[in-house]
């Protein structure tokens, strides 16, 4: 039997879509909370909404946990003492507890048509009265057949006028009972509602701390009433601040920052994402910003969780990614880039070269990455910048326009540069600097013009890395070929 005083948190998503960053942050806080107290982190799948079920969502969740390293101690497929961890596999349990409440008069079967309730609601609105559904207000005789008849909680049996609970970061919360309807516990399809199954499972799974998104505050009074009626001990509650998108709107499963796997394919590191999400609404209480997951566990203190909304900010995520990329050794960095580069180039080209599977390709990638290792923020965008190191770009008039170079002047300078460079067999960086600088001096041309002409011929694009590094990486033969190509245009 497990120790009741132990901290146990749970992440209880519904598989109604893929997890977005806001939910992933909830999972992370549940994990950090539990691990910082040597407790357990439980993953439970709240799959009771058959209509909104998205197949593949559970597998995506598993991928997210694996990739970010926030491994649940218990959960679907993982197992554990309190399973099963999919609510759809626990239906009998909910039925049992619902029947207990019915037997005590605290719940009742109600086959009242939703349309009748909606009509009453509308009427109340027209009469400017408030309306809260209570079964007693409707005269109704239930037939003998209880199959497919929903079970509702009976509010009139609750003693008192208000329900009160304490949120760990928001303090005491009170709600008037007159605002709560006779809510459904078991639906007509025999499945429990979120409210009911959530309470039963948090109790049976011995959850000590319910940590979840702010949007569930509205459901908490109902949960409190269920805890009371079922005679269950009440866990601690902590509602995390909402995460808003850069547009200040709620992050949704569809919004830009939603897809973690997309971030993965752009070369964001799991550590950077974890670090960024942890600081989205939590303050470590020091000036330290860069943390590994284990450092976060050590530093985590729920008292420093903020209550006001947190705003997702891509630039800040990029900053964390840069910091974490810098901490990687060359081999690790190569491993980050390999799949991205493979993805980037078309599969045919890749296959014909057996691309990146041989030591020469790896050595070349290492040489590229060595040049600007500390400046890389977003690996995918970086590949855009260094594309020309893998493939010779097409050279045409548009390149000259982009560089604002006059065709005739450009051709003269490239021709003369070619002559200088061709005469030189040594292709080492220092030597190339001397050669080009010597050429600039003797020709009387401006440094900028010469550099731009070289860059246009070799890369066809503005920016990227230093021109001498580019020449060295391309090598003598390829650099000269590109200069010649620029003349042929
Ligand atoms: N199933 C709810 C969700 O989709 C769980 C909320 C809770 O943690 O209580 O997030």
Q: How far apart are CA 77 and CA 55, in angstroms?
A: 16
Percent of the chain predicted with pLDDT > 70 = 95
Mean pLDDT for 222-242 is 97
In this prediction, residue 253 has a pLDDT band, given cuts at 50, 70 and 90, of low
Q: Check 250, 253, 373, 380 and give the catalytic one.
A: 253
Please indicate whether residue 441 is annotated as part of the active site: no
Q: Which of 11, 12, 49 to mutate to test the pocket of ligand 1 (most atoms within 8 A of CB)?
A: 12
The string of pLDDT tens digits covering residues 451-480 is 999 999 999 988 878 999 999 999 999 999
More confident residue, 60 or 143: 60
pLDDT of residue 356: 78
pLDDT digits (tens, 9 = 90+) for 53-101: 888 899 999 999 999 999 999 999 999 999 999 999 999 999 999 999 9
Residues lining ligand 1, CB < 6 A?
A: 12-14, 46, 194, 198, 212, 216
What number does the ligand 1 atom closest to the CA of 194 have? 1
Q: Which of 212, 214, 238, 251 to mutate to test the pocket of ligand 1 (most atoms within 8 A of CB)?
A: 212
Average pLDDT over residues 413-436: 94
**CATH (residue range 397-488):** 1.10.10.350
Q: Which of 236, 327, 237, 238 is nearest to 275 (CA)?
A: 327
Please name the residue whose Cα sits nearest to atom 10 of ligand 1.
Answer: 13
Select from 9, 14, 76 the residue to mutate for testing ligand 1; criterion: most ligand atoms less than 8 Å from CB: 14
Q: How far is the CA of 231 from the centre of ligand 1 (A)?
A: 22
Q: What is the pLDDT of residue 468?
A: 96
Mean pLDDT to the nearest integer, 151-173: 96
Report the predicted TM-score, pTM, of the whole model to 2 decimal places. Answer: 0.89
Residue 350 has pLDDT above 70, yes or no: no
Mean pLDDT of 143-152: 86
pLDDT of amino acid 230: 98
The Cα 275–Cα 458 span in angstroms is 39
Q: What is the mean pLDDT of the chain?
A: 91
| Average pLDDT estimate for 156-171 | 96
Mean pLDDT of all residues in 133-154: 84
Instruction: For residue 219, give the ligand 1 atom closest to its CA.
Output: 9
Q: pLDDT tens digits for 277-327?
A: 999 999 999 999 999 999 999 999 999 999 999 999 989 999 999 999 999
Query: Considering only 27-36, 98-107, 161-170, 357-366, which range has the smallest mean pLDDT?
Result: 357-366
């Amino acid at each position: 039997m497990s120790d009741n005083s132990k901290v146990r948190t749970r992440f209880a998503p519904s598989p109604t879509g893929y997890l977005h960053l806001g939910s992933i942050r909830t999972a992370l806080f549940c994990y950090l909370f539990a691990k910082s107290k040597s407790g357990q982190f439980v993953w439970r799948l709240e799959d009771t909404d058959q209509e909104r079920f998205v197949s593949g969502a559970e597998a995506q969740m598993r991928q997210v946990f694996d990739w970010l390293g926030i491994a649940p101690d218990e959960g679907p497929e993982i197992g554990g003492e309190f399973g099963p961890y999919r609510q759809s596999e626990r239906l009998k349990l909910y039925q049992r507890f619902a029947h207990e409440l019915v037997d005590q008069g605290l719940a009742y079967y109600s086959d009242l048509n939703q349309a009748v309730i909606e009509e009453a609601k509308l009427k109340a609105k027209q009469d400017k009265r408030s309306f809260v559904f209570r079964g007693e207000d409707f005269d109704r005789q239930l037939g003998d057949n209880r199959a497919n008849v929903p079970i509702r909680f009976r509010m009139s049996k609750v003693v008192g006028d208000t329900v009160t609970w304490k949120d760990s970061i928001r303090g005491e919360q009170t709600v008037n009972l007159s605002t709560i309807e006779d809510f459904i516990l078991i639906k007509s399809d025999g499945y429990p509602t979120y409210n009911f199954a959530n309470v039963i499972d948090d109790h049976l799974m011995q959850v000590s701390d319910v940590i979840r998104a702010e949007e569930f505050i509205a459901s908490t009074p109902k949960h409190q009433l269920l805890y009371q009626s079922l005679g269950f001990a009440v866990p601690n509650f902590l509602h995390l601040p909402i995460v808003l998108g850069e547009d200040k709107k709620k992050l949704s499963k569809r919004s830009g920052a939603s897809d973690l796997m997309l971030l993965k394919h752009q070369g964001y590191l799991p550590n950077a994402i974890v670090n960024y999400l942890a600081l989205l609404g939590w303050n470590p209480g020091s000036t330290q910003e860069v943390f590994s997951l284990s450092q976060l566990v050590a530093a985590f203190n729920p008292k420093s969780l903020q209550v006001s909304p947190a705003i997702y900010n891509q630039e800040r995520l990029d900053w964390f990614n840069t910091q974490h990329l810098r901490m990687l050794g060359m081999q690790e960095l190569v491993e980050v880039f390999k799949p991205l580069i493979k993805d980037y180039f078309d599969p045919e080209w890749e296959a014909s070269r057996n691309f990146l599977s041989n030591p020469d390709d790896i050595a070349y990638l290492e040489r590229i990455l060595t040049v600007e290792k500390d400046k890389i923020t977003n690996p995918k965008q970086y590949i855009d910048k260094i594309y020309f190191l893998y493939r010779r770009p097409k050279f045409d008039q548009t390149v000259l326009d982009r560089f604002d170079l006059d065709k005739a002047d450009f051709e003269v300078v490239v021709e003369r540069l070619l002559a200088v460079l061709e005469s030189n067999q040594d292709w080492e960086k220092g030597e190339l600097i001397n050669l080009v600088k010597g050429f600039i001096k003797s020709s009387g041309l401006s440094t900028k013009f010469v550099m731009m002409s070289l860059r246009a011929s070799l890369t066809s694009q503005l920016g990227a890395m230093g021109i001498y590094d580019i020449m060295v990486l391309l090598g003598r033969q390829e650099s000269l070929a590109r200069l010649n190509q620029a003349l042929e245009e």
